[in-house]
A = this chain, B = another copy of it.
Amino acid sequence: MKCVIAVDAMGGDFAPHNTVLGAIEAFHESGEFKLLLVGKKNAIIDEIKSNNLKFDEKYIINADEIIDMHDHPTETMKTKPNSSMAVGAKLVKAGEAHAFVSAGNTGAMVVNSIFGMGRIKGVSRPTLTAPLPNDKGGFTFLADVGAFVDSKPQHIFEFAILSKILIENVYGIENPRVGILNVGEEESKGYKLTSDASKLLKDSQLNFIGNVEGNDIFKSTADLVVCDGFIGNIILKFAESIIPFLKSTFKNYAELGLTNKLKIGMVKGPLKEALKNANADNLGGLPLLGVDGISIIGHGSSSPLAIKNMVLRAKVMYDKDIVNKIKGTLSDYAE
């Protein structure tokens, strides 16, 4: 069966405009998958028409409810059972789609993916794994970046296994070096959670290199850094705020005088090129690993380009057969 990717047309701050545009662009560019748009049918049709796009209406799957950014994630299961997220996740469960992509409420997407698609056997907690740029021009991966807070050591261990499969198969890094985020090099440092999780990681077949610190993330000391979702989420959001911070800082500097303004004018272009790797729009969203299907979660502010890249990322996850590879690996660990 040809790859089928369902996109939450109602998810994100600029839905359905950015979602419909981005998804259809990915569809026309690739041509190698079937696209389903999930959401309020009339709104989707209006968006398609007003942008003069071509898309067969029979591939629009109606969902009457919309989850917004203020909805409490777990409550959406009861209050909005016919949301575009619930419907999209169920398409995967029913085998009518291989992947579901959303730029909506992250927590709600985590919950709807887990309950809609189910977890893979052996996974107690799925993880959101994020690629952060590193100083070698590649990526250092961080997991969990906020699927869950208050992890147990076993969860951190699972984040590492799940992320390793992604990193090897999608990013081509064999036997990735796994570090655990801590406040020093010594094993005795940090939380009990950290030292207990370290023991599990050390006793496994993973390429565990021990503690890494905050300044190791950009330094490519490890390929994968694992931590509880509380700190991972804070680090991810902090990292995402670096480029906006630089922009504001340059703007403040430019406002001090004409010479400064000219200098900053020269800086902008090269800076943008050099930091291409750090542009969230290019990264293709974050996969929720450990659910029984492909679930890709993007920023609420996703541009059409970001949505397009999320859809293409879902296609790569399908091509690399990530879900089955996770199933195979976990059954190895269970043996």
Contact = CB atoms under 8 A, between A and B. Distances in A.
Interface of A: 72, 107, 133-137, 146, 149-150, 181-184, 186, 188-191, 213-219, 229-231, 233-242, 244-245, 248-250, 252-253, 260, 263-264, 266-267, 269-271, 273-275, 277-278
Given A183-B233, A253-B274, A191 B238 contact: no
- Where chain A touches its partner, the secondary structure class is helix
Contacts of A277: 249
Contacts of A267: 266-267, 270-271
Given A230-B231, A242-B242, 15 more contacts: A134-B245, A135-B252, A183-B230, A213-B233, A214-B235, A214-B237, A214-B240, A215-B238, A216-B241, A249-B274, A249-B275, A249-B277, A249-B278, A253-B270, A263-B273
A235 B233 contact: no
12 contacts: A107-B184, A135-B245, A183-B230, A214-B235, A214-B238, A215-B237, A215-B238, A217-B238, A250-B270, A250-B274, A263-B269, A266-B266
A213 B191 contact: no
Nearest to A276: B253
Given A146-B183, A274-B250, A218 B242 contact: yes
Nearest to A236: B214
Contact of A229 (B72, B183, B188): B183
